[in-house]
Each structure stands twice: as structure tokens, then as C-alpha cells.
Amino acid sequence: MGFLEKSGTIVAGVTSNINYPEPWLVQVPTLAELTAAHIAYEAAYHAALSKDIV
């Protein structure tokens, strides 16, 4: 499993999970920040596969 799949699994696992209520500690990114980072990475990953410039 690569980084893209792992990050997607983490975001999906904490989204709406009652065991990980927000707000989290200040040192931990918010769910919105984690989701945005995952989406940005996914877009860059797919652009790199198709040799697009990001």
C-alpha cells in the first residue's frame, strides 16, 4: 500500500468517527487540513503520472 492509499485510509478512518472527536490537540492538523492535504497530494500524484506540470 502506497502513501496515497494510506493517507486516504487515515482521512476516511477519522472522518465522522466518534472515537476521534474534534477539536484535536493544537499540534495535530484539523480534519479539514488533513483532507485538503490528501486531495492536494492526490492531484499532484495523478498529474505526475500523466506528466502534467502542477
Query: Number of folded domains in the chain?
Result: 1
Domain that holds residue 46: 1-10+29-54
Query: Would you state the pLDDT for residue 25?
Result: 79
Q: pTM for this one?
A: 0.69
pLDDT in tens, the chain (54 residues): 788 999 899 899 998 888 988 887 788 888 999 999 999 999 999 888 888 665
- What is d(CA 37, CA 31) in angstroms, rounded to the nearest whole number? 10
- Is position 4 within any domain? yes
Of 53, 5, 12, nearest in space to 31 by CA: 12
Q: Tell me if 21 is assigned to some domain.
A: no
